[in-house]
Structure 1
Amino acid sequence: MKKSISIAIGLLATVSLSAQATLVSIENCSGTAKNGPAVTCEITNSPANVISPNPNNNKLVAWDEVQNHVLVEDLKVDRVFDPTASFIEDAGNSGYFIKAGTIVSSHYVQWDPNGRGQINASIVLDSQIFAFITSDQNLFDSDDQLALPNINYNDFNLRGIEKKDTTVFDGDSASINWTASSPGDWARLITAYSPAAEAQVSEPVTIALFLSGLIGFVCRRKVTN
């Protein structure tokens, strides 16, 4: 009896699930840089802290931030997938707002070459892209709601992308063509509700409930036998 309960508790303590990222992949990664190693692309679960304004690593890095977050105030963004969507409000020449109460997921993208460099890639996510935040001020302002906790985003000037950079939305993917020098190109992708992020939260709870039931079943067997 005691051995059976120990096994169940051990399973509860050690069970782990493969991470399900709302950033699915970065595809067709290619580019050039003036100095240093070859251009690469990476999704990371452990961004640097403090975030450096000038990594000079010839790498496009992306990470998931706050997921399935209900906006507590209007979120100022620079570009949107559909200006006529019911949760989008036109802010005139200065961009758009995603209205408070909308559920969003946030993803941060960093590109910083060693010297001047260019990157092409397709960023694939698990839900519809709503918007792109690319200007310094909007990036700063959105940190409070969307940045990862316990990460110092180290606000600095020229954090947005350059005027000639292009980003093309296509459902749950964004194709980028960016050219940057110091301190690099930085942007925030805003997407819809993320099924993968929800699963990442709910599946451990489901397993915990199952194992708790298993423990209860073993205990009941002890009583009835």
Structure 2
Amino acid sequence: MNTLLKSLGAGIAGIMISTAGAHAALVSTNSSLSDQGVAASIIAAPADVSDDAATNEAIQAFDEVQMHVLAADLAVDGGTISAGTVISSHMIFLNSDGPGLIEHGAGGGGSAATFTFDGMILGVMSDSGGTLEAASSSFLGAAGTIYPGAFTARGMEGDPLDGLINNDYYSFLTDTITVGMRVTEPGDWIRVITASEIPVPAALPLLLSGIAGLGFASRRRREAK
């Protein structure tokens, strides 16, 4: 009996571990081209995202912390996400190597980049000084990645929600964000927060029923004695 219970317990643990990474990550991009002829892409988290440490020629995105339970309300553009919400974090950026101009979906730089997640978008941090990003990097940043403090023009300049495409902008609907960036020096970095719900595995109720059944059978045998 003990062996069976241990096996069932191990099965539950295995299922929960296998689903721990679900519903949290970047899924796809439209691979639109910047004015440099380079496609938007999803990458692994860089080792360092300080100014000029990670550069590119097209908008890129990477996953940060996953399945994080907020200990306090989290400030995002125009509002807050409530404490207790299970969220995942992601970074989107365009950062030229030097002072050269790069346009991707903004100005005359082709089509905007889109990124789709497997969780609903709850909010974005894009303020020009990067203060929202800097205030949350200690618990939302990717493990092992170096993050800077806030500095001028770390985020998007102007009003990214004004609907104009001559400068930096973004919009989102359900699980997809559309982004346009126009950078010289420094680049633009925004953090996207998505909902992360841990699903209950289909096999879990069966395993729990099995444990309950074994417990009932064991009790009946003891009573029979």
State the TM-score, normalized to the length of structure 2: 0.64
User: After superposition, what is the alpha-carbon deviation per residue over 1:70-126, rounded to whole angstroms, capped at 9, x for unaligned?
Assistant: 101111111xxxxxxxxxxxxxxxx31111111111111111235111112111111
Select the structure that is richer in strand.
Answer: 1
1:182 is matched with 185
Q: Choose the corresponding residue for 1:101, options 80, 84, 91.
A: 84
Question: How far apart are the structure 2 equivalents of 1:63 and 1:29?
Answer: 16
Contact (CA 8 Å) 2:121, 2:195: kept in 1 or not?
yes
Equivalent residue pairs, number = 165
Shift >4 Å, 4+ stretches: none
Using the TM superposition, give the Cα deviation of residue 145 of structure 1 relative to its aligned residue in structure 2, in angstroms: 2.0
* Contact 1:27–1:122 (CA under 8 A) maintained in structure 2: yes
Which has more radius of gyration?
Answer: 2
Are residues 1:123 and 2:115 paired?
A: yes
**Given that residues 34 and 58 in structure 2 are in contact (C-alpha distance below 8 angstroms), is that contact kept between their aligned partners in structure 1?**
no
Give the TM-score of the pair, scaled to structure 1.
0.64
Does residue 1:65 correspond to 2:64, yes or no? yes
**Residues 1-225 of structure 1: matches in 2 within 5 Å?**
22-33=25-36, 38-45=37-44, 47-54=45-52, 55-78=54-77, 95-114=78-97, 115-119=100-104, 120-135=112-127, 136-157=130-151, 158-163=153-158, 164-193=167-196
Q: Compute the RMSD of aligned alpha carbons.
A: 2.9
AA matched with 2:121: I
Q: 1:115-156: CA deviations, max 9, x gaps?
A: 111112111111111100112110100112211122111335
Identity of aligned residues (%): 31
Corresponding residue for residue 82 of structure 1: none
1:122 corresponds to which letter in structure 2?
Answer: T
- Where structure 1 has 5 or more consecutive residues not aligned to the other structure, the ranges are 1-18, 79-94, 207-225
Query: How far apart are the structure 2 equivalents of 1:69 and 1:112?
Result: 27
